[in-house]
Chains A and B, each alone.
Chain A
Amino acid sequence: MSTEHEKIQAELAKYQASVEKAVARFPERPHLPEQRLYTPLDVKDTDYADEISFPGVYPYTRGVQPTMYRGRFWTMRMYAGFSTAEESNKRYRMLIENGATGLSCAFDLPTQIGYDSDDPISEGEVGKVGVAIDSLADMEVLFDKIDLGKVSTSMTINAPASVLLAMYIAVAEKQGVPADQLRGTIQNDILKEYAARGTYIFPPRPSMRLITNIFEYCSKNVPKWNTISISGYHIREAGSTAAQEIAFTIADGIAYCEAAIKAGLHIDDFAGRLSFFWNAHNNVLEEVAKFRASRRIWAKVMKERFHAEKDKSMKLRFHTQTAGSMLTAQQPNNNIVRVALQTAAAVMGGTQSLHTNSRDEALALPTQESVTIALRTQQIVAYESGLADVIDPLAGSYYVEAMTNKLEAEAWDYIKKIDDMGGAVAAIEKGYIQKEIQDSAYKWQMDVESGARVIVGVNKFQMENEEPPKDLLKVDEAVGKRQVAKLHEMKAKRDNAAVEAALKDLKAACEDENENLMPHILAAVKTYATLGEICNVMRSVFGEYEAHVNL
């Protein structure tokens, strides 16, 4: 230990002794983290050059770009979509007019699970949590008067990601925009669907094939497209801790890389297009540390495990969404403040893009007014707060650096455990990841119920006779019927022989494991074959995933 550290150690001992006396008389609040203060001693083993370094420099702890927000702000990307393609198109154009710099499409559940709107299982769900897309015809309306050569579009679509991407490419082609100009992201992260989000269709093996087919196709034809958004967001929403969010997500990322390498791809050919998606939860400093730790871990995984050589392959670029599960139905205006703090965390953590939730989302889909406040929150943090003016402003904080190290160490422990089980797919099939998340979710709930964890307006500072909020967005119940009518009209007009031929060709391709499915799916969507028809062909070959739940 250096003399300076010895001096600090001695002073710290004195401080601790005096605090012990004070605490004996005036106890601290209950349920606090054990360590009350951080000093240079907590980070004395952290080598600046190796572990922290500079923005844009390995291991990217301080950010993936050299100038971060001094060049331009993060992309303000608001997740939206409901009802029909016409309605959602209006909302997208409103967001663009208000300064949103990227689109983010929410699809309804039938679309996310590959069912058409007229499937009996879709009844009651059409247009509810997102927009209903049955065929290329809906996609043409969704992006009407939006220049796909200019906007970047993120699509929250997983099991049928290949089909929606194909539709997007086809719409762009009609607009005269070549595929190599398209910018955007498909979520395409099936492993977290099995573990946390629930919109899976096929079993893991064919699902991993679809994903690697997309990696390969896009590396050649849609090179600016982010082919996957490896998502911790939903793992955290399902109840995980911050360390679990990092670990389970990076374990999923490792599984995708291994699958792609096994399929014959070279790491540097696809790794640069992998992107991540994190949650911005309530504990601001822990979250900042989480973002920093995740970048460092991924950089090490790519360099040491996969021997990536390109810098781009080692950079963990990420989108962030504020934590939906932390919104309260009680006193909903308080959520504006929660979202502002979560935004601050995401920005100080160096996010590349951000969605801010609206105050009313614990109750319904957000109204236009609520969405505008949420977007303004980002703009206030960007332009007024100063948080975006200096790169990685919390670096060097004894606490944040120590917390970054701690989260990194906890995440590595989990990753090693998952490696020992045979990787993320095996860990999910065993139910291990699901169980870990469930246990954390249950602990959180019990802490709230015991009062160990305070949620303002829920278990403390409640209001008697709180008025239920008015003016919630209501999706018109007739949307389902209208969408079904539109679908039937479209089917009557299209060339059904061409559809059948394309589906037959797709089936043959599905049966040949060495065939890349993307060109066949693209050909099928161009005939206006529906999402349900295409997914049913794949179901007939691949089968469906069956979940096993252990409570």
Chain B
Amino acid sequence: MEKKIRVLVAKPGLDGHDRGAKVVARALRDAGFEVIYTGLRQTPEQIAEAALQEDVNVVAMSILSGAHGHLFPKVVKLVREKGMDDVLIIGGGVIPETDIPALKEAGIAEVFTPGTPTTDVVKFIKEHVKL
């Protein structure tokens, strides 16, 4: 049997806007992935720990509060520190174009901004995930 891609959809920080995270989570599930959603207000430590416990292939984070520059890199660092070198880490939300290069530099594989079709996220994961 083909191994299913496991994705942790996570909301780091204090932001309560989870319409996007939930829509993406459901679209990924409908695309055949196994999806775990963390719920709101997760610290980077909690997200890294959940990624480890759930043995996921992908961490997909959403932030609309402007705290991405602080929180996304922190999650990457903690995930890598826990030895999850192959886990694909992606992010989305209200993120200005000018902030994206620094996030990619910090190890976020791709940043999806408002208006992105969920099919683009599915495609990106399929092309870049390491199983």
A residues contacting B by CB (< 8 A) are: 109-110, 112-113, 115, 121-125, 128-129, 193, 197-199, 237-239, 325, 328-330, 362-365, 438, 441-442, 445, 448-449, 455, 458-459, 468, 472, 474-475, 477, 547, 549, 551
Contact = CB atoms under 8 A, between A and B. Distances in A.
Interface in B112-130: 113-115, 117-119
A109 B65 CA distance: 8
B13 A199 contact: no
Contact of B17 (A125, A198, A363): A198
Nearest to B72: A124
Contact of A445 (B17, B18, B27): B27
Given A128-B67, A330-B115, A477-B69, A109 B39 contact: no
Contact of A364 (B43, B94, B119): B94
B15 interface: yes
Given A109-B13, A193-B16, A445-B23, A329 B114 contact: yes
Contacts of A325: 19
B66 interface: yes
Contact of A237 (B19, B23, B25, B40): B19
A364 B69 CA distance: 13
B114 A441 contact: no
Given A124-B69, A445-B23, A547-B39, 7 more contacts: A109-B65, A113-B14, A124-B70, A125-B65, A125-B67, A328-B115, A442-B23
A551 B65 contact: no
A400 B65 CA distance: 37
A475 B66 contact: yes
Given A128-B67, A468-B97, A199 B16 contact: yes
Given A121-B43, A128-B67, A472 B98 contact: yes
Contacts of A237: 17, 19
B118 A449 contact: yes
Contacts of A329: 94, 113-115
A122 B67 CA distance: 10
Contacts of B19: 237-239, 325, 441
Nearest to B95: A363
A441 B25 CA distance: 12
Per DSSP, are chain B's interface residues mostly helix, strand or loop, or mixed?
loop
Contacts of B29: 551
B21 to A, nearest CB: 10
24 contacts: A109-B16, A113-B14, A115-B14, A124-B70, A125-B70, A129-B65, A129-B66, A198-B16, A237-B17, A238-B19, A239-B19, A329-B115, A363-B96, A363-B97, A364-B94, A441-B19, A442-B23, A442-B26, A445-B118, A455-B115, A468-B98, A549-B22, A551-B26, A551-B35
Size bracket of the B interface: 35 or more
A364 B13 contact: no
A365 B96 contact: no
Given A363-B96, A364-B96, A551-B35, A124 B71 contact: yes
Contacts of B67: 124-125, 128
Given A329-B115, A445-B23, A198 B15 contact: yes
Contact of A551 (B15, B22, B96, B117): B22
A-B pairs with lowest CB-CB distance, top 9: A198-B16, A124-B70, A468-B97, A109-B14, A128-B66, A124-B67, A329-B114, A458-B115, A362-B114
Contacts of A365: 66
A292 to B, nearest CB: 27
A441 B14 contact: no
Nearest to B9: A551
A325 B71 CA distance: 23
B114 A551 contact: no
A465 to B, nearest CB: 13
A125 B39 contact: no
B13 A125 contact: yes
Q: Choose among B14, B17, B37, B96 the residue with the greatest number of A CB atoms under 10 Å from its CB.
A: B14
Nearest to A327: B114
A121 B115 contact: no
Nearest to B70: A124
Interface in B66-92: 66-67, 69-71
Contacts of A468: 96-98
B18 A198 contact: yes
Given A109-B15, A129-B65, A198 B115 contact: no
Nearest to B117: A449
A330 B70 CA distance: 25
B119 A449 contact: yes
Contact of B39 (A197, A474, A549): A549
A193 B15 CA distance: 12
Contacts of A198: 15-18, 40-41
Which of A199, A329, A459 counts the most B-chain CB atoms under 10 A from its CB? A329
Contacts of B40: 198, 547
A28 B28 CA distance: 34
A110 B15 CA distance: 10
Contacts of B69: 124, 477
Q: Which of A110, A477, A547 has the most chain B CB atoms inside 10 A of its CB?
A: A547
B13 A549 contact: no
B81 to A, nearest CB: 18
A199 B94 CA distance: 18
Contacts of B16: 109, 193, 197-199
Contacts of A477: 69
A121 B14 contact: yes
Contacts of B71: 124
Nearest to A112: B14
Nearest to A197: B16
B101 to A, nearest CB: 12
Contacts of A551: 22, 25-26, 29, 35, 37
A112 B13 CA distance: 13
